[in-house]
Amino acid sequence: MEATLHIDKDLIAASATPLVLAILAAGESYGYAILKRVRVLSGGELEWTDGMLYPLLHRLRRLGYVTTEWRTSPEGRRRQYYMLTDDGRAALADQQRQWVAVTRALNDMWPGSGAVLTALGEA
Amino acid sequence: MDSVESQIAAWRAHVADAPGVNGHDIDELEDHLRHQIAELNAAGLTADEGFLIAVKRLGDIDGLSREFAREHSGRLWKQLLVGGDDEPARSSSGWFETLAFAVAAAVVIQVVRLGRLSGLLRCSLSVTQFLNDPLLRCLSSDLSGWGVRCRPGVRLLA
């Protein structure tokens, strides 16, 4: 099998919240679509255990970062949609500042890896 | 009820036994499962194969149950009060072994054909892997060679 980048599970967990908040900042969504977006955004390198997304989403709801609404999907199934709240936007902005600070520090130590900050819009 | 519908019904019943998971959670997980199965079917897998891989990607039920319980500790407490047991009995009625046995033969037969599916499934499957290990954990054993690159149990709650 080809070698794939293994991202440490702590890093996966730490990046999960800002990723989900950022995805919801682009518009309301639901579990499966969020997960697909994560796969695309990370080029398949952030592989989540699918079901674990839901306790995370429920936590974001408890924190007031998202609101939820059950609707009927186009396939006729019950589906819970998640919408970012103003608190969620503020939390995302705070997370972005934290990640930029961390990646900037790492970037300074790793010349030539400027793509990290470019990806965060901080080039 | 066709085969995959009865498999999903059996899966629902199994998940319903897990502490910390309520009916809404199961509805949400089932919507996810059906989405994934449909996508795998569209990629050329049979309904049974799609079901197996979708269940695997969802993660093992014990791990999921723990995460739901962590987030919904109040809910778990109520369940414990009703159940009166620290370790609510898990159904090990063998539904999954039965299910795995029923589909394993079909899966093995398909392996050669699936080998042509542009790397979606890339290795042979050990039937004993399905039969030896009870419950969903048997699917948590390494199916990574199938192109199912999920890491079972990776928690997303920091």
| pLDDT tens-place string over residues B39-48 | 999 999 999 9
Split at pLDDT 50, 70, 90, the class of A119 is low
Q: Are B144 and B137 in contact (CB under 8 A)?
A: no
The predicted complex's ipTM stands at 0.84
Kindly determine whether residue A73 and residue B31, on different chains, have CB atoms separated by under 8 Å. yes
Q: From the CA of B105, how many Å to the nearest CA of chain A? A: 25
Helix B3-16 with B47-58: angle, nearest 10 deg: 20
Split at pLDDT 50, 70, 90, the class of A110 is confident
Confidence (pLDDT) at B108: 54
Split at pLDDT 50, 70, 90, the class of A2 is low
Give the DSSP H or E segment for A57: helix A53-62
- Max Cα-Cα span within chain B: 52
Average pLDDT of the residues of chain B: 70
Reported as a single tens digit per residue, the pLDDT across B104-153 is 656 555 554 555 454 444 433 433 343 344 444 434 444 444 444 444 57
Q: Are A83 and A92 in contact (CB under 8 A)?
A: no
Nearest 5°: the CA angle B28, B29, B31 is 65
Kindly determine whether residue B64 and residue A51, on different chains, have CB atoms separated by under 8 Å. yes
List, in order, residues 6 or more apart from A18 with CB less than 8 Å away.
A92, A95, A96, A99
Confidence (pLDDT) at B114: 54
Kindly determine whether residue A55 and residue B152, on different chains, have CB atoms separated by under 8 Å. no
How far apart (Å, rounded) are the C-alpha atoms in residues B14 and B32? Answer: 16
Residues of A in contact with B36 (CB under 8 A): 32, 50
